[in-house]
Amino acid sequence: MNGFFGEQTPIRFEGPQTTNPLAFRYYDAEEIVLGKTMSEHLRFAVAYWHSFAWEGGDPFGGSTFERPWFGDTMAHAELKADVAFEMFALLGVPYFCFHDADVRPEGESYSQSVKRLNHMADIFEKKIQQTGVKLLWGTANLFSHARFMAGAATNPDPDVFAYAAATIKANMDVTHRLGGQNYVLWGGREGYETLLNTRMEREFDQLGRMLNLVVDYKYKIGFKGTILLEPKPQEPSKHQYDFDVATVFGFLKKYGLENEIKVNIEVGHAILAGHTFEHEVATATAHDIFGSIDMNRNDYQSGWDTDQFPNNVPEVALAYYHILRNGGFTTGGTNFDAKLRRQSIDPADLLHGHIGAMDTCARGLKAAAALIEEGSYDRFVDARYGDWEGEEAQAMLAGKRSLEQIAQRVEKHKINPQPRSGAQEYLENMINRFV
Ligand code: XUL
Ligand code: CO
C-alpha cells in the first residue's frame, strides 16, 4: 500500500438502492447476463495515460493535479505503477492499457527509452502475476514527441519512419511478453496540417507499408492477439487518414490487410467524425473488422475530444446491442479512454469517474441483453427484410439474374411495389422500454 487512496477498501456491488458513492449500483461482476458474467462481457480496462500520466493541463493553463509520481525519474515511474495497480485492484477491473510514454520517462536515445520500457515491463510482469489484472492492449506513443510532429509512418523523413517502426517493435515485444490481448495503433499525426506541403499518395503508401510490417512482425514473434487501428477524423492533426471505420476499411482493403487488422472504436472519435457511436460499431461488425472499444463521451457542444467518463446509458446500450448481436468481444474489451475534469483533483475523483463509468456500461449491457432476450425488436427488423428469403430475391442477390432478366420479370408479373412504413417512432418507443 502506498497510501494514495488512504484507507479505501475495494469497491463492492451494493445494488441500485445504495447511497454509498463509493459502491457499484449496477455493475455486479459475477452477475450472469446472456450466459456470461458481466465481467466476461464487458472486459473493463483502465487507461494508464489519462488517470496516471495526464497532469490536468488545458490550452490556457498547466497542471492542476498534484501527484507524488509526477517527475522524470524511474523511481517516479515505479511509484506510478504501484498506485496504478492499487487502483485497478480497488475497482476490480480485469485489464489495463498503456503507451510506452505513459509508463517510463523518455530516454536520451532510442536504446535508453527501450531499456526503461523493458524495466517497467519487468515490474508489470510481477504485478500481473500478483494481482491477476491483465493487459488488454499496449501501444506506442508516436504523437507527443517533436520528432513525430509531421507524422510517424507518414513523415516525409524516412528516419522518422524508421524510428517509429523501431518503437512499435519494442512495444509489440513488451505487449507480447505481458500477454496483451491486442496491440493498438492510433495515428494522431498520420495525416496533415496543410495539404499545401503534403503528397497524400506517398503518405498512404508509407502507412500501408508500416501496417504490413506490423502484421509480419506479429506472425514472426507468434503474438496471438489482434492488431487494432483506432479511427479518428482529426485532433491533433487537421485531417487524419484513419478518419472513421468506413475509411479504415477501404484503406485496409487497398493494402491487403482487411483480414489482419480490426478496429478499436472510440465514442468521442465517432462523434467528431459526424457519426453516432453505434453507427461506427455497426459499420465495423458489417465489415467484420470489429475489435474493441474506447469508452468515453464528448461534450456535445464543444466540438473537440473531451474524453469524459461515459454517463449516457441509451448511447452505451445501443453500442452494446450491436456488439452482443455480433457475438460479443473476443480479444477486445471496454477501455475507459476517459479523463477527469481538471478541477477534479482529489484521489477519490479517479474512483468516482470509473465507478460511474462501470455502472453506466453495466446498465447499458443489461438493457441491450434484455432487448435481445425479449426479441420483438429483432423480429421486427428481420421481418422488414423477410421477402429477401424468397427464391427470386435470393437468386438476384446471388448474382444469378441479369439486369434484363430482372426487367423481364418485373414486366411479366406486373411488379408494382407499395411503400411500407419504416416505423421509426414505434421502434424508438420500443427501445425506450429497455433503456
Ligand atoms: C486519442 C486516443 C488515444 C488512443 C491510444 O484520442 O484515443 O489515447 O486510444 O493512442
Ligand atoms: Co482512444
pLDDT in tens, 254-279: 999 999 999 999 999 999 999 999 99
Is there a contact between 361 and 370 (Cβ–Cβ < 8 Å)? Answer: no
pLDDT score at 432: 96
For ligand 1, mutation pick of 136, 167, 186 (most atoms within 8 Å of CB): 186
Q: Which helix (H) or strand (E) holds 432?
A: helix 424-432
Answer with the one of 374, 391, 409 that is the final residue of a domain.
Answer: 374
CA of 21 to the centre of ligand 2 (A): 27
pLDDT of residue 384: 98
Q: Which ligand has the nearest atom to the CA of 305?
A: 1
C-alpha span between 20 and 62 (Å, rounded): 33
Say yes or no: CB of residue 244 within 6 Å of ligand 1. Answer: no
Last residue within a domain, chosen from 342, 359, 374:
374
pLDDT given at position 1: 57
Same domain? 252 vs 303:
yes
Known active-site residue 102: yes
Say yes or no: 199 and 233 in one domain: yes
Whole-number Cα distances in Å, 337 to 45, 286, 293, 334, 348: 9, 24, 9, 9, 18
Query: Same structural domain for residues 39 and 174?
Result: yes
Q: Is residue 26 part of a domain?
A: no
Confirm or reject: Cβ of 139 under 6 Å from ligand 1: yes
359 is catalytic: no
- What span, in angstroms and rounded, lies between the C-alpha atoms of 380 and 93? 37
CA 368 vs CA 229, 324, 429, 432: distances in Å: 26, 8, 15, 11
Are residues 314 and 417 located together in one domain of the fold? no
Q: Is the CB of 266 under 6 A from ligand 1?
A: yes
Print the SS3 string covering 173-189: HHHHHCCCCEEEECCCC
Same domain as 414, residue 298: no
CA 152 to centroid of ligand 1, rounded, Å: 15
Question: How remote is the CA of residue 295 from the centroid of ligand 2, in Å?
Answer: 8
Confirm whether 10 is domain-assigned. Answer: no
Give tens-digit pLDDT for 312-349: 999 999 999 999 999 999 999 999 999 999 999 999 99
- Tally of domains in the chain: 2
**Using CA atoms, how far apart are residues 292 and 139, in angstroms rounded to an integer?**
14
366 and 385 in a single domain? The answer is no
Q: Which of 28, 102, 305, 337 is catalytic?
A: 102
Co-location of 324 and 394 in the same domain: no
Question: 178 CA distance to ligand 2 centroid (A)?
Answer: 20
Residue of 99, 269, 279, 322 marked active site: 99
- 177 belongs to a structural domain: yes
Residue 58 has phi, psi (to 5 degrees) of -140, 175
Q: Is residue 11 part of a domain?
A: no
Residue 107 and residue 63 share a domain: yes
Shared domain check, 110 and 89? yes
Residue 91: closest CA among 361, 369, 368: 361
CA distance 238 to 252: 22
Query: Quick check: is 9 in a domain?
Result: no
| Same domain? 286 vs 424 | no
> Residue 347 maps to which CATH number?
3.20.20.150
Measured distance CA(176)–CA(304) in Å, rounded: 33
Ligand 1 nearest-atom number relative to CA 50: 8
Domain boundary (339, 374, 409) is at: 374
Same-domain check for residues 352 and 400: no
**Residue 200 located in a structural domain:** yes
Residue closest via CA to ligand 1's atom 8 equals 337
Intervals of the chain under pLDDT 50: none
Question: Which residue range(s) make up the domain with 416?
Answer: 378-432
Q: Measured in angstroms, how far is the CA atom of residue 428 from the centroid of ligand 2? A: 29
Residue 5 in domain: no
**Distance of alpha carbon 407 from alpha carbon 226, whole angstroms:** 46
Instruction: Tell me, yes or no, whether 232 and 340 share the same domain.
Output: yes
Residue 95 lies in a domain: yes
pLDDT of residue 302: 85
Q: Please work out whether the CB of residue 186 comes within 6 Å of at least one atom of ligand 1.
A: yes
pLDDT of residue 230: 99
